[in-house]
Amino acid sequence: MSRADRFLRACRGLPVDTTPVWIMRQAGRYLPEYQAVRSRVGFLELCKRPDLATEVTLQPVDRLGVDAAILFSDILIPVEAMGAPVIMGDAGPSLPEPVRDESAIDRLRVLEPESVGFVLDAVRMIRAALSDQVPLIGFSGAPFTLASYLVEGGGSKSFIEIKRLMFQRPELAHRLLDKLAKSMGRYLAAQVGAGAQVVQIFDSWAGVLAPEDYETFALPYTRQVIEALPAPRVPVIIFGTETAGLLERLRDTGADVVGVDWRIEIDVARARLGPGVPVQGNLDPCALFLPREHLARRVEDVLRRAGPSGHIFNLGHGILPPTPVDSAIAMVDIVHERGRARASQ
């Protein structure tokens, strides 16, 4: 079995030679070679230059030895193309024109994937450059998380504005979510058409919702996105944080793989999801600050709990900028080494 097969097989729950591993935000600020590129161009420009997006997407594939590449982009890129200006600041993105009423929602355009042709060009360039060494993951935000950014005008602590819209004007919230679901369905289908072999849907803020609200305002729209993908469908990974109360519902979106954060043991998560459901996760990103022997023990613990198949190793959220690169490399090595020992048992 080649390195190229591991990740795709694990997404299907098939036996693997060792546990595949990649890292959310693996192309990012913790890498000096990424910072070198960023010193020359802004974040949005980097997303919009297929040559540079390709360069930074490939950086961690060799440096870390991960088993998948993920398109360098941002979940708000298609939102900007729908008509909502986005500013990328050091403290996170902000949207200077929050979408909070009927006319603002109606002004948003359903995404035409050609309007983000630079993303599709990047997918094609990355895919060609990878030469099938490892698979390429495309991605989008989930409709609820994107709606949160649009309505809040950026990140949020209490998500008052999006919840106020959902609770006081549910018909408007549904109209916005439907527009986002249609857009993300088209967007991911276009990424698959351009060469993405797996897609991950980031419902980063799903965990702020009560289960009932997740069922009303998030689940059906994520399902709509997944159902818009062309058959035969590429594997779909659904990811969120603070979702220990929502895991079964994440699975019920129709996604093939359920992301699990570190707030719940991955064996407890698997027991709840059922044995046939592959999972991705779930090391605390801060565990990369541990001394190597403790890091190794944590990695082994995740591998042991997750079991030898149907598991993609990852952090439970994005790698943090102050992370030592050597620690990320060590993590990947340990996963492969111990995963191989487990797979051959």
Q: Considering CB under 8 A, how many residues would be counted as binding a copy of itself?
A: 34
Do residues 15 and 345 lie in contact, with contact meaning Cβ atoms separated by under 8 Å? no
Q: Which of 68, 95, 273, 287 binds a copy of itself (CB under 8 A)?
A: 287
265 binds a copy of itself (CB under 8 A): yes
300 binds a copy of itself (CB under 8 A): no
Q: Is 333 one of the catalytic residues?
A: no
Do residues 202 and 141 lie in contact, with contact meaning Cβ atoms separated by under 8 Å? yes
Q: Which of 262, 270, 339, 342 binds a copy of itself (CB under 8 A)?
A: 262
Q: What is the distance between the terminal CA atoms of the chain, rounded to a whole angstrom? A: 16
Q: Is 203 one of the catalytic residues?
A: no
Beta bridge partners of 69: 136
Q: Residue 151 contacts by C-beta under 8 Å, 6 or more apart in sequence? A: 98, 99, 100, 161, 162, 165, 176
**Sign of the torsion angle spanned by Cα atoms 106, 112, 118, 123:** positive
Angle 283-66-195 (CA atoms, 0-180°, nearest 5)? 115
Options 25, 186, 251, 270, the catalytic residue: 25
Give the binding range for a copy of itself (CB under 8 A) out of 12-20, 37-45, 80-88, 158-166: 158-166
Q: Is 38 one of the catalytic residues?
A: yes
160 binds a copy of itself (CB under 8 A): yes
Q: Which of 112, 121, 178, 213 binds a copy of itself (CB under 8 A)?
A: 213
306 binds a copy of itself (CB under 8 A): no
Q: Which DSSP letter does residue 237 get?
A: E
Tokens 């793989």 correspond to 257
SS3 263: coil
223 binds a copy of itself (CB under 8 A): no
Interacting residues with a copy of itself (CB under 8 A): 158-160, 163-164, 167-168, 207-213, 242, 244-246, 262-265, 268, 284-287, 289-291, 294, 301, 320, 322
Residues taking part in catalysis: 25, 29, 38, 74, 149
